[in-house]
Amino acid sequence: MFGDERLAEIERQQEVLQVQSDLHRQMLALEAASWAQRFAWVDSASQTVAGARWWLLPVAAVGGVFAVRKWRSLVKWAPAALSVWKWARSLRSV
């Protein structure tokens, strides 16, 4: 009698664990889909960059020279640029 009750309790615990694991799998799948949707812009950005590679290197070089020469003035503008960048990102997500 005691063995039957214990066996039934173990079976119930196993069923609860199976339901919990199914729930967690579904939550992980939902989270993965959410992250995939959030980072879908990365593919479009990489395609845009791939189409514009011929001018990125010269622009980066000029930007680097400008940054080295004018780094103090750039430091002054960095907080404003960061605020504008965050604002633009918030508009993109809406």
DSSP state for residue 7 in the 8-state scheme: H
H or E element that contains 90: helix 71-93
Residues 6+ apart with CB under 8 A from 74: 67
Q: What is the biggest distance separating any 2 CA atoms in the chain, rounded to whole angstroms?
A: 87
* pLDDT number for residue 1: 65
Selected residue with higher pLDDT from 87 and 53: 87
* Placement of tokens 């950005």 in the chain: 45
What confidence tens digit (pLDDT) does each residue in 14-67 have?
Answer: 999 999 999 999 999 999 999 988 888 887 777 777 776 777 777 778 777 777
Residues 6+ apart with CB under 8 A from 41: 92
* pLDDT number for residue 14: 97
Give pTM, 2 decimals.
0.45
